[in-house]
Structure 1
Amino acid sequence: MNFAQLISDVLSVITISFCLFLKVPQIKSIIKLKSAKGINIYGLAMELMSYSTTATYNFINGYALLSYLEYPIIIVQEYVLIFLVLYYQDLLQRKTAIFALIYGLVFLGFLVKVLPSGVVTLILPLCTPISLSSKAVQLWEILKHMNADSVSVTSWVISALTNASRIYTVLMDSADLILLSNLTLSTIMSGSIALISYVLQNRSKARKE
């Protein structure tokens, strides 16, 4: 194993380790405040679709598990986060369950190859605008209310750092241009949300004092 590949593997392990707790600070914040104000459910849904599509694409193309293991880990946390936001925003309805069922069946179909895998390859380029849109919607929600009290800065900092580290590991593993462009832009957006949330939370604390 050469040195560059060793660095890639180490970064992969670090990235996956961080992602074990990526959404946990956000989940804890919502539970503690019993509020999901400032968090946009549509942004979370788009984020989930992006994560699910990317994980499925990596799986069906046989890429090294170490290069994308964080996605399944994040997806599980995303399920919990979406449920909490739906609950605290009184959005748990029958149509929500129907959408969840359709989502589950479609992606299961791709994973077991009942549905044509070529479709995932076709829709993967959409993950970049979807991912950016989900973050843009979240950023807009924060700026619209000028309130980031329910937003976890830690989660967004981890997101930015893990996306940045993945740029290197993807370069070493597959050099997939679609994945690289998605990761680069996601790093910028996650960093922006973290910075703005940090500034707004500090202002909020200063006013209370």
Structure 2
Amino acid sequence: MAEILKGLLLGVLSQKCYNEYFLKYNFLDVPCFKSTLSKGLGIGIILGSILVKVPQIFKILQSKSADGINIYGVYLELFAITANFAYSYVMGFPFSAWGEGTFLAIQTAMIAALVLHYGGAPMKGGIFLSVYCAIVSVLVSGYTSTDILWTMQAVTVPIILIAKSIQIGTNYKNGSTGQLSFITCFLLFGGSVARIFTSIQETGDSIIILTYCVSTIANGAIVLQMLWYWNVEKTIKVKGKKKPKRA
């Protein structure tokens, strides 16, 4: 039992930190605290990412509509997510530093397929998923140059801004956030904030850190929009329920 527990702890702690905590009982070691916090946050983000976009998927399925979701914004977001996890995987960064990208990519690809499906192009949805899987296989196969992957990762910074700006513009134009899920948007914002810290600790890669900084700002803007339009929509509904006064 002790060995099993040790194995679980070593999934979060390095051997050095395990020795500091459980052999030397030095619980005030600052580097170990930062490392452990980073690992714990990384694992938490990965576990959360398994379901982070499920509310969005269910909302589309339940309403049988993808109104308010800009497909081009979804495409660009999927590119950014894919470039991030493919680059991190090939560079050999710890899974705890990028693992959520795999789950986010799967869910984002499903959202793109659903937007196409409910947009009147069900065949395109199926074709899109097939092509996407093929592209990912090539990127992580080891045959794609690391220079290409680094370039893809680098361009995700402006791509994230463009993708989120497209969605922000769509929301502004519609005066509503449509079928966007607040839970999903808020979790994405929280995850990107945490990823700034874990990326500094576990990768030290400036382009990865910059990507998450930009993602945090962009996701935060959409969360603020959702809060704003939520209040506007509630006000409109309340006014609509008021009966007009008789003359």
Distance 2:131 2:57 in 1: 25
Match of 1:153 among 182, 196, 211: 182
Contact 1:67 1:170 in 2 (8 A): yes
Distance 1:150 1:57 in 2: 31
Matched, 1:201 2:230: yes
Aligned-partner residue type, residue 115 of structure 1: T
Deviation at 1:100, TM superposition (A): 4.7
| Correspondence for 1:48 | 78
Deviation at 1:195, TM superposition (A): 1.2
Q: How many residues are treated as equivalent by the alignment?
A: 208
| Correspondence for 2:148 | 119
Contact 1:163 1:186 in 2 (8 A): yes
| Correspondence for 1:68 | 98
Deviation at 1:148, TM superposition (A): 1.2
- CA root-mean-square deviation: 1.6
Deviation at 1:191, TM superposition (A): 0.9
1:139-167 deviation digits (Å, cap 9, x = unpaired): 11111111213111111111111001011
Structure 1 unmatched ranges of 5 or more: none
| Correspondence for 1:22 | 52
Contact 2:97 2:203 in 1 (8 A): no
* Mapping of residues 1-209 of structure 1, within 5 Å: 1=17, 2-94=32-124, 100-209=129-238
Distance 2:87 2:163 in 1: 19
Deviation at 1:201, TM superposition (A): 2.3
Aligned-partner residue type, residue 30 of structure 1: I
TM-score (norm 2): 0.79
Distance 1:88 1:185 in 2: 31
Higher relative contact order (CA 8 A, sep 6+): 1
TM-score (norm 1): 0.92
Deviation at 1:99, TM superposition (A): 5.2
Aligned-partner residue type, residue 207 of structure 1: I
- Percent identity over the alignment is 25
Structure 2 unmatched ranges of 5 or more: 1-16, 18-31, 239-247
Deviation at 1:101, TM superposition (A): 4.4
Larger radius of gyration: 2
